[in-house]
């Protein structure tokens, strides 16, 4: 935790506080993008953000130096959740809400480009999102990924709950493995 108390006590004439808690959803997305950028860099990938929001938050590509080829783009929908019931009872799956339209978009069986959903588990209290000490900085939360490619349609117009297995941590090794599967023509 990075506590503001010391700064507030040192600078009593300044209004020091964390900004815009009413924009919690936007701030969670910024936190998740920062973490994903770190993962993308560690995996040696490139990341871009589409100019128009068409349900895809990020596009990732990966170069294969031996073959002089670029793989991708991998399309990603980001979901950051702090809901109380985000984990199932035995904490083996994390869930997030996805709009019905996004669910239909990401469940396409043979998309032109592979698509995954990356769900970040985040504390509802902003002061717990980041920690810094003398030796390192640390983002405390993880992301998990899931492909819903080929899933059946869901009736209704309400949000759809999508879950990712705890075993599918979205990190640099997972990202390199995902691109290896894409190159091999395997389904994610």
- Tell me the per-residue pLDDT of 119-156, one tens digit each, with 9 for 90 and over: 999 988 888 888 887 888 877 789 999 999 999 999 88
Q: Is residue 31 part of a domain?
A: yes
Residue 3 falls inside a structural domain:
no
Give the domain extent around 102. Answer: 24-184
Share of the chain above pLDDT 70, in %: 90
Which CATH number do you get for residue 32? 3.40.1350.10
**21-68: pLDDT as tens digits:** 667 788 888 999 999 999 999 999 999 999 988 889 999 999 877 777
Number of domains in the chain: 1
Provide DSSP, the chain.
---SHHHHHH-TTS------GGGHHHHHHHHHHHHHHHHHHHHTEEEE--SS-SS--EEEEEEETTTTEEEEEEEEEEEEE--TTSB-TTSSEEEEEE-HHHHHHHT-SS-SS-EEEEEEE--SSGGGSEEE-SS-EEE---EEEE--TTPPP--SSS-EEEEEETT-B-SHHHHHHHHHHHHHT---
Give domain status of residue 163, yes or no.
yes
Whether residue 101 lies inside any domain: the answer is yes
Please tell me the predicted confidence (pLDDT) of residue 18.
64
């Amino acid at each position: 935790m990075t506590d503001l108390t010391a700064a507030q006590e040192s600078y009593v004439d300044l209004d020091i506080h964390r900004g815009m808690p009413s924009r919690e959803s936007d701030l969670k997305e910024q936190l998740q993008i920062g973490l994903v950028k770190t993962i993308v860099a560690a995996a040696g990938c490139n990341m871009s953000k589409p100019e128009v929001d068409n349900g895809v938050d990020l596009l990732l590509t990966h170069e294969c130096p031996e073959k002089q080829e670029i793989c991708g783009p991998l399309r990603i929908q980001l979901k950051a959740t702090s809901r109380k019931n985000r984990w199932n009872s035995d904490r083996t799956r994390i869930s997030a809400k996805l709009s019905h339209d996004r669910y239909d978009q990401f469940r396409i069986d043979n998309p032109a480009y592979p698509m995954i959903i990356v769900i970040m588990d985040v504390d509802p209290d902003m002061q717990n999102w980041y920690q810094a000490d003398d030796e390192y900085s640390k983002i405390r939360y993880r992301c998990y990924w899931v492909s819903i490619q080929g899933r059946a349609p869901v009736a209704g117009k309400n949000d759809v709950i999508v879950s990712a297995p705890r075993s599918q941590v979205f990190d640099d090794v997972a990202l390199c493995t995902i691109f290896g599967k894409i190159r091999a023509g395997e389904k994610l």
